[in-house]
Amino acid sequence: MELNSSARPAVAPITREEAAAWRQLQTNTFPSLSLQHTFYPTMYLDRHPSCGGPPNLNHSSWECPKPPAQLPIPSPSPSGWKAALSSSALDDQRGLIDRARRIAAANGALD
């Protein structure tokens, strides 16, 4: 996802840690295996461990048919991912943050 100045910031009363994670999700800088592989190519694979797909944030958190620690998103699409990242609903933001954290932890991207 390209950096978009119109992306909605996290809404109050989200915690500072959640706000940082939300912004990382929106700017594609949230920890992912793809990002880790860029810096540590011998430690992190360049494929998703569950399905062999790309280990980027979008795939791991949204598109993967076999995400660890979570159920797959039914009928994932790029427009759905963009809509999720643009949501101003606190429950939606917290849900996506939690999902991304659980998947990243299970994949080893938070090590």
Closest-CA residue to 62 (of 74, 52, 50): 74
Rounded CA gap, 38 and 44, in Å? 9
Rounded CA gap, 13 and 31, in Å? 24
pTM of the entire predicted model: 0.85
Bigger pLDDT: 8 vs 70: 70
Work out the mean pLDDT of the chain and round it to a whole number: 90
Domain map of the chain by residue range? Answer: 16-107
Tens-place pLDDT, residues 60-109: 999 999 999 899 999 999 999 999 999 999 999 999 999 999 999 999 99
